[in-house]
A = this chain, B = another copy of it.
Amino acid sequence: MARPADSKARDALICAARERFVQHGLKGARIEDITKACGLSKGAFYLHFKSKEALFEELLQAFGERVRELLSTRQLETIEFLKAEGMLTAADVRQQAPRYLHYIELSNKHNLDVLELCWEYRDVVHVVVRGVQDTAFAGTAWDMLSQALSHLEYQEQMFIERGTLRQDLAAGLVPAMLVGTYSMLCFQMTSMKQKPDFGVWAHGVNRLLYEGCAALIQHVSSAEHEETLETPLLTATENCCLGAGKTKRRNS
């Protein structure tokens, strides 16, 4: 006994909003343009969403959920692997033991999963990185990167403690390089029409980094790089932020 909503209306609004957000940022996107793009009126928008920000938060929640899933399965599977195959030793790395190659394989799989997800949500990523300044979401990109960083730092720590990795690199360096390289890739993909071949990329990065570490391990006893680099680095926890610090938390 009532007029039912056009089932496509809500989805159409979300879709149009995503496009506008990418082009103009969260603030810059005009509600009237969004509704016009799907043949609706401004009022219709407020029928489905409390505000532009609420719509965006919805998108972000979905993405964040997926990210959290990925991170936690990565965590689980890594621990599982190490339980099953035993902790990696420096010798494994040096000799490119099957166990080590297997580990790289696993790590690679996880990296690819992340890239795929970012591709799926590339518009949202784009907005989070470059379109939310002066908004409740201003710190979100950094928050997400921080999660990834501290996650990888945890793994690095494990490896360092067990002697798998050299200790003479600044702690956090490898995680930061990984996150830096991958976020560069995400940054790039937000402006691409064709999905690039992530496999080639991820594989190369992995080889460079892991074999770089292996190379260092071989040189351990050689005297030429003596200075231990133990300055604490740039960790995720170093949140001595200026801009990001004044992130107004969401007031939904």
> Which residues of chain A have a CB within 8 Å of any CB of chain B?
22-25, 27-28, 96, 126, 129-131, 133-134, 142, 169-170, 173-174, 176-177, 179-185, 188, 190-194, 196-197, 200-201, 203-205, 207-209, 211-216, 219, 224-225, 229, 231, 233-234, 238, 240-246
Contact = CB atoms under 8 A, between A and B. Distances in A.
A181 to B, nearest CB: 4
A238 B231 CA distance: 38
| A28, A174, A194, A201 pick with most chain B CB within 10 angstroms | A201
Oligomeric state, in copies: 2
A134 to B, nearest CB: 4
Contacts of A240: 191-194
B134 A201 contact: no
B25 A169 contact: no
Given A24-B133, A184-B183, A214-B215, A234 B176 contact: no
The majority secondary structure among interface residues of chain A is helix
A246 B23 contact: yes
Contacts of A231: 197, 200
A207 B193 contact: no
B131 A133 contact: yes
Given A23-B243, A174-B208, A190-B242, 10 more contacts: A23-B134, A24-B134, A142-B191, A169-B207, A179-B184, A180-B182, A180-B183, A181-B181, A191-B241, A204-B229
